[in-house]
Amino acid sequence: MTANPNLPLGLVVQGSLSQGLEIRLNPDILVEDMRVGKFLVIQGRRSRFFCLLTDVTLGAANQRIFTDPPSPGDDFLREVLAGSSTYSTIDLAPMLMMTPEGEGMGDRQPRLDTALASFDTNSNSDVVLLPVKTIPGHFSQVFEASERDFRIVFGWEDDPQRCNFAVGKPLDMEVDVCLNLDRFVERSNGIFGKSGTGKSFLTRLLLSGIIRKRAAVNLMFDMHSEYGWEAMEEGRSATTVKGLRQLFPGRVEIFTLDPESTKRRGVRDAQELYLSYDQLEIEDLRLISRELGLSEASMDNANILASEFGKSWIVQLLSLTNEEIKEFCELKQGHAGSIMALQRKLSRLESLKYVRSACPHNYIERVLQALDAGRHVVIEFGSQSNLLSYMLATNAISRRIHQSYVKKSEQYLRSKDPSDRPQQLVITIEEAHRFLDPGIVHQTIFGTIAREMRKYFVSLLVVDQRPSGIDNEVMSQIGTRITCLLNDDKDIDAIFTGVSGGQGLRSVLAKLDSKQQALILGHAVPMPVVVRTRSYDSDFYTEIGDIDWRQMPDPIVLAEAEAAKADLGF
């Protein structure tokens, strides 16, 4: 890697706006330092072009060289041939133009160097970022992107004018790449990657940033109990990482659908959460019809029962005898066989610990009260993390919360009173393709939320390893996509649904490391960027959390002290 960002790497020799630019490297530049995903800049006459490296190629002026190549030990001949007979080229995709503010189209003088030389690294007021609609001329010089370039493009975390959060660093530099959290939360977003690439850690990282910066309130459906309290770190070590409740004890609340499991994990102050049968709607059951084995005939008869018994139809159905079902069908033109099958299959819901015939309290209302107070909510599933349980609870709870936000939004539109404005809500779901599959997306609340964007101040953060399973219309509405390594071609194609220039980024995505690297593109960043994601460790806890973890006692020491007390009979 070139140590001096002012040292030219090569020259523009050819290319186009649509296909990218070909750069011929200078003979003294080691081609092995030119890695896919690297950021370079091209100095034009008026603008500085911020570019992404997408491909590396070796070339020769005369193909006869290959018939009699230099021997492995003949360094002198190889150096003679380098740069003239043999050369290296790289392909760059221009992403942004950095143009001095007030630069006129009639000014043909190269004033950009002067403007950037006086640029204060803590300000970007002198430079305007523009989409690329042209390209630099022949033989324009190429340089390493400097820290100043990155600050112009991605900002910095302590910018008082923007809600920025440092999510990682470029592959070859020690400078922060920031997300604009205000733009991030106003649309639905996705975190993708195959199993084992660190999606959960990346999700926890982003949620911590949203909480720290107060960009929105979060509702997290924690399928595997990883976000609220401690979770196991991936790898062979048996160490744990902190949950959001530990980092922000006064701002995060945990609700549990399995109190016994939550207590076994040592979680304190978790609130119980139950659903009653009268809170389940036909649409909730239709979502899990595949898991329950419900036919269309059964769902049609469910509508007949709901029309007759109202919200209590499930309780009424489960209490009916076969004779009563037959009598009901004679009066209401239902199908006895289908209703009996519906009764038998809905009885499986009795095995779910959080489903009750009746509840003394409206627990969903308690969740809403916490969100209205600006507190973030994690809903743990414990042993109830099977797909049937997760899909039922997540859809039923989200449906009612969305209904509440619709009412609040309508009130705000009528009153125009800032105090009536709902807080922006981000709902995090895992296994998102189960809810957003093309066959059922119109039956789930999540498809509605994804299409509405910010209309009712609710957006999604979907976490999934199979983006190809998500409906294309929904995928096109995903504002920011943070993608770890994917291998399946269908999944890679899905990531670039609705993204112009996506073909040039396919090679970048395919060459990510399996750990702690991600491609970020979309609404919250000015251009696609590959980063080494920020570590979720003790240093991060200290930087981001409400507790100074450097002052906390060593948990190993505490555990040993507790064990010693037990041995002594205390």
2 pLDDT tier (thresholds 50, 70, 90)? very low
Note the pLDDT tens digit of each residue in 395-446. Answer: 889 988 998 999 999 999 888 888 888 889 999 998 888 888 887 787 788 8
The string of DSSP letters for 493-505 reads HHHTTT-TTTHHH
Give the H/E segment covering residue 64. none
β-sheet bridge partners, residue 144:
40
Q: Are 460 and 170 in contact (CB under 8 A)?
A: no
In angstroms, the CA 481 to CA 493 distance is 13
Residue 232 has pLDDT above 80, yes or no: no
Return the CATH class of domain 179-269+362-536: alpha beta
Between the CA atoms of 260, 266, 267 and 269, what dihedral angle is there, to the nearest 10 degrees?
Answer: 90
In angstroms, the CA 45 to CA 472 distance is 41
At 462, phi and psi to the nearest 5? -95, 135
What is the average pLDDT across 69-94?
72
Q: Are 314 and 280 in contact (CB under 8 A)?
A: yes
Note the pLDDT tens digit of each residue in 233-261. Answer: 765 555 788 889 989 988 999 999 988 88
Residue 73: C-alpha distances to residues 28, 78, 81 (Å): 19, 9, 14
Q: Are 47 and 115 in contact (CB under 8 A)?
A: no
Residue 551 has pLDDT above 60, yes or no: no
Whole-number pLDDT of residue 483: 92
In angstroms, the CA 482 to CA 495 distance is 9
Residue 21 has pLDDT above 80, yes or no: yes
Domain coordinates in residue numbering, the chain = 10-153, 179-269+362-536, 278-351
The string of DSSP letters for 99-114 reads EETT--TT--S--HHH
In angstroms, the CA 545 to CA 549 distance is 8
Q: What is the DSSP letter of 526?
A: S
Note the pLDDT tens digit of each residue in 34-79. Answer: 888 788 999 988 889 999 888 899 887 777 666 667 667 666 556 6
CA torsion through residues 291, 297, 300, 306, sign: negative
- The mean pLDDT value of the chain amounts to 82
Residue whose C-alpha is closest to residue 317's, from 338, 331, 295:
338
Strand pairing report for 355-356 and 376-380? unpaired
Residue 176 has pLDDT above 60, yes or no: yes
Tokens of 479: 């504002």
